[in-house]
Amino acid sequence: MPTGINATMKKEIYMKLLIIGPNGKMGKAIVQTAYKNKDITIVGGIAPSNRSYINSDLGYLCGIGTPINALVYDNINDIISKADLVVDCTMPDVSISVLKVCVEHNKAFITGTTGFNASEMEYIKESAECIPLLLAANTSKLTHIFYAQLINVCKSIKEYADIDIIDYHDNMKLDAPSGTAKEIARMIAKELNYDVNTCFEYGRNARKRRGKNTIAFNSIRSGGISGAIKVIFGFQDENIELSLNIFNMNTFAKGIVDGCLYLKNKGNGLYGIEEVFKI
């Protein structure tokens, strides 16, 4: 008989979770973290129909080592009725298609996906009028503390600085710059009154001096790097570097699970991860 928090003998089910893409690095981390939480029951995962692990138990697929009575499905409509909330950290097109199903079935939705275009973001905002929706580009609590320190530096700057943002990720990450890097750039630009329409630069491949009041992006996609970001404030005779290193996906998974519990009993609307962390 299956044992553990997700077993059928569990007396109280606080929140029933459906996880999109459970076989990816982030998906596995979410399954493992949610399974350990006494207030969450995992009802299943969703994967593309051509995957060999369809109908597998998530406990075996995701390294828990025991069945948890939650299978992998290739059709979200086969299981969504049993869920309270759907978690998605995949790609924009997948996220939007899953969101449409959530709206149709009146299910809460959390996405940690980045790289949405303007029309996709507009659809997300419209959908939040119908369901509780948490948009979380970065679910690491320490990252948001990092943001606060960056803002403190910006408030203290009394002279011109060259600002560079370097983000590191594994070679499987598609978007560059990362969603976190873009968020940091917008935050800095707001604090320093830079024009976001003209102040961003992407890499350097020219023989010319950089302009004033600019924020330059550089994106490293290499090997199996879990994730890191560095922000440099360069002055004529000195500089300040602030960096954040992520060692694995667990920190993001913990934030996702915190977001799941935050959405319980929340009304329709668009929520941010800052509200979850109370930062």
Mark whether 91 and 178 lie in a shared domain: no
Question: What's the mean pLDDT when you consider all of the chain?
Answer: 91
Overall number of domains in the chain = 2
Mark whether 96 and 173 lie in a shared domain: no
In a domain, residue 29? The reply is yes
Mark whether 186 and 266 lie in a shared domain: no
pLDDT of residue 40: 95
In a domain, residue 219? The reply is yes
CB 46 within 8 A of CB 78: no
Report the DSSP pairing between strands 132-135 and 269-272: parallel
Q: Using the predicted structure, report yes or no on whether residue 1 has a pLDDT greater than 60.
A: no
The model's pTM is: 0.79
The pLDDT confidence band at residue 180, using thresholds 50, 70 and 90, is: confident
CB 61 within 8 A of CB 23: yes
Report which of 274, 261, 276, 279 is spatially closest to residue 87, judged by C-alpha positions: 261
Q: Using the predicted structure, report yes or no on whether residue 196 has a pLDDT greater than 70.
A: yes
Q: Give me the CATH number covering residue 256.
A: 3.40.50.720
Report the DSSP pairing between strands 162-169 and 228-234: antiparallel
Mark whether 123 and 203 lie in a shared domain: no
Report which of 130, 72, 69, 127 is spatially closest to residue 99, judged by C-alpha positions: 127
Please state which of the ranges 18-22, 52-56, 224-228, 254-258 shows the lowest mean pLDDT. Answer: 224-228
Q: Which residues span the domain enclosing 85?
A: 15-139+249-277
In a domain, residue 111? The reply is yes
Mark whether 114 and 42 lie in a shared domain: yes
Mark whether 240 and 176 lie in a shared domain: yes
**Interval 74-112: pLDDT, tens:** 999 999 999 999 999 999 999 999 999 999 999 999 999
Q: Give me the CATH number covering residue 209.
A: 3.30.360.10
User: 148: which residues sit within 8 A by CB, 6+ positions away?
Assistant: 279
Mark whether 253 and 122 lie in a shared domain: yes
Q: What is the mean pLDDT of residues 44-63?
A: 96
pLDDT of residue 12: 53
In a domain, residue 8? The reply is no
The pLDDT confidence band at residue 56, using thresholds 50, 70 and 90, is: very high
